[in-house]
Amino acid sequence: MFSEVQPSVMTPGRAPVYLNVYDLTPANDYFYWAGIGIFHTGIEVYGVEYAFGAHDYPSSGVFEVEPRQCPGFKFRKSIFMGTTILDPNQIREFMERHSVNYNGNTYHLIVKNCNHFCKDVCYKLTKRKIPKWVNRLAGIGM
């Protein structure tokens, strides 16, 4: 399923997991300091970034890109979330298994967006939650 980006060489055991945060709007430069904004996120592990996006089809909306290079968004910051014991092949299998729950035609800005995907995946990999400010506007929209 995934084939765009090849994992970087790293010894399995304790691989770092990062939450990469991107701005969706230049207004985030003002809102970020108040703890709100409109953000896109992706999970980086073994030199590959995984994210969730919308499309019109009942197939996975999970995709991979070069870390901190997601097209169409301005990179803001990378947050160390912890480590995983999964090796690169296990990560790939893990992402393929979880991607079936994130079809592109089920994407919703308030209830099922890229930040929800990252929250789910990050917790399963590291047992740590992503920062609340990343998806605060979706919570306000509920």
Encode pLDDT of 22-46 as tens digits: 999 999 988 888 888 999 999 999 9
Q: Is residue 8 part of a domain?
A: no
Q: Is residue 135 part of a domain?
A: yes
Q: Is residue 31 part of a domain?
A: yes
Stretch 74-102: mean pLDDT: 97
What number of other Cβ atoms are within 10 A of residue 33's Cβ?
Answer: 9
Catalytically annotated residue among 40, 98, 116, 122: 40
Q: Is residue 96 part of a domain?
A: yes
Q: What is the pLDDT of residue 62?
A: 98
Q: Is residue 87 part of a domain?
A: yes
Beta bridge partners of 65: 49
Q: How far apart are alpha carbons 2 and 18 in whole angstroms? A: 19
CB-CB contact of 56 with 107 (8 Å): no
Catalytically annotated residue among 70, 98, 114, 118: 114
Q: How many domains does the chain have?
A: 1
Percent of the chain with pLDDT over 90: 77
118 catalytic per annotation: no
Range of the domain at 130: 15-141
CATH code, domain with 107: 3.90.1720.30
Q: Is residue 6 part of a domain?
A: no
Beta bridge partners of 36: none
Stretch 81-106: mean pLDDT: 97
122 catalytic per annotation: no
Stretch 50-78: mean pLDDT: 96
Q: Is residue 7 part of a domain?
A: no
Provide the mean pLDDT of the chain. 90
E strand segments, 33-129: 39-45, 48-52, 62-65, 74-84
Enter the tokens of residue 104. 């592109």
Q: What is the pLDDT of residue 81?
A: 98
